[in-house]
Amino acid sequence: MIRVNVTETSNRISSFEMSGHADFAEHGQDLVCAGASAVSFGAVNAIMELTGIEPKIKQSSSGFLKVVFPAGLDEKTDEQVQLLVRGMIVSLKTIEHDYGQYIKITFTA
């Protein structure tokens, strides 16, 4: 199962962590893993390209991704980052809605 943990404090998402594998299908044919990876990496790439910020990123080939967004951004940049990361979460929730036994999203403070 893919587990996505989103850390949100005071209505601001400060980080997210994704780990595990969906095991929906064989490696290379797993639509759930592919979708979740495309959504998360696409969102992080969009944040970096469109806002110019460099989040702290940790990842491994085992399916682990952790992204921490910098604190203390100016208001406009932070709003842009939040909008893009919330868009990512909407897309991941869509995948979770259809494939809930393979992906789980949780929120922590």
Q: Which of 8, 12, 19, 21 is catalytic?
A: 21
How are the residues of the chain apportioned to helix, strand and coil, as percentages rounded to the nearest 5?
Answer: 40, 30, 30
Say if residues 59 and 65 touch (Cβ distance below 8 Å). yes
Q: Catalytic site residue 21? A: yes
- Write down the catalytic residue from 2, 6, 22, 33: 33
Q: What is the DSSP letter of 61?
A: T
4 is catalytic: no
- Catalytic residue list: 21, 33
